[in-house]
Amino acid sequence: RAELGFNGKRVTRRAQRTEVRSIEENGRRTRSEARRETVAVIRAAPDRDRYKRKALGCGGGHRPASSFRSRTGVHGGGGSSSSILGACSRVSLCAPAWDQRMSEEENPAAEPLPVQDVQGDGRWMSQHNRFVQECKDAEPDVLFVGDSMVQLMQQYEVWRELFSPLHALNFGIGGDTTCNVLWRLQNGELENIRPRVVVLWVGTNNHEHTAEQVAGGMVAIVQLLHSRLPKAKIVVLGLLPRGEFPNPLREKNSAVNNYLRASLPRLGPVQFLDVGGGFVHSDGTISCRDMFDFLHLTASGYSAMATPLHELLLQLLEETPQERRASLV
């Protein structure tokens, strides 16, 4: 009746069954302890949802529940107007939480930084110094601030026909991010001028930042403009789609626009204008006739976006009776 046990000794069948139960119980305790350790790691992980699915075998291929897409339902590269408007309404529901998170966390896209002169010719700082000098000589009614999308505008006829007659200044520098624009505005580009309207167009070059961070950086610029120019009205232009075909950067710019739609109305006299709705065709592509490098606008591209902007500026520049009385006083 005796058989060879697991430890090499001759034991009875009853003792063998007891040893098997002990091993099974120890195995269950080991698995339970491993699972508790995994949960502890998940709680400490920054991307909790994605880590949880991967660690607990719930399918690593799904997007995290905290991602922007799961909250808004924006999936296409260009996105139809109905999907974007629907996404905007859903984003507005979580906007207060986003604002609180952006205020509590350090946002690298809202840190004022000059451009590093890696090429060694000092061109960026020379442009900034020229803008500071223009502030001493000019009295603009409209101030354009941003990156190459603003800078290149003055190279086309649309600037001379529509915006130059409005006494506009162009403070655009190619490649600028929200950090660079913040630094410029804090270091002399708002001195000695009192524009009635400021047009902000920046954000597509923030490649190192998330959509939330980019939107937070643009909000920081708007807040700075409010503090330095309390009587000025501000127009924030939405980021354009980019790339010939749908791509992650196009989705990111669309997400930034949705965050801005939800947050800017609470900042005071700020208008958000999306000027990129007509550049993406039904098949999701962008034509080189509108963007010569699938990022920067052509003459016809600027004409398309300038018309609604010009109409909005005319409305904002028209004095109300209260403003007219205040200017007379």
Please return the burial class of 252, using the count of CB atoms within 10 Å of its CB with bins 0-12, 13-18 and 19+: buried
34 closest CA partner among 58, 55, 60, 59: 55
Burial call 35-46: b when 16+ CB within 10 Å, e when fewer: eeeeeeebeeee
- Whether residue 134 contacts residue 107, with contact meaning beta carbons closer than 8 Å, is answered with no
What gap in Å lies between CA 271 and CA 199, rounded to an integer? 9
What gap in Å lies between CA 35 and CA 26, rounded to an integer? 14
Of 32, 62, 126, 293, which is the active-site residue? 293
270 DSSP β-pair partners:
234
Residue 33 CB neighbour total at 10 angstroms: 10
- Whether residue 296 contacts residue 148, with contact meaning beta carbons closer than 8 Å, is answered with yes
Number of helices (H) and strands (E), helices first, in the chain? 12, 7
Of 67, 92, 141, 296, which is the active-site residue? 296
What gap in Å lies between CA 19 and CA 217, rounded to an integer? 64
In three-state secondary structure terms, 46 is coil
User: Would you call 296 a catalytic residue per the annotation?
Assistant: yes
276 closest CA partner among 235, 236, 234, 238: 238
253 closest CA partner among 297, 211, 305: 211
Nearest-10 crossing angle of helices 211-228, 81-104: 70
Of 128, 147, 148, 209, which is the active-site residue? 148
Provide the CA 290 distance to its chain's centre, in angstroms.
Answer: 23
Q: Which residues are identified as catalytic?
A: 148, 293, 296
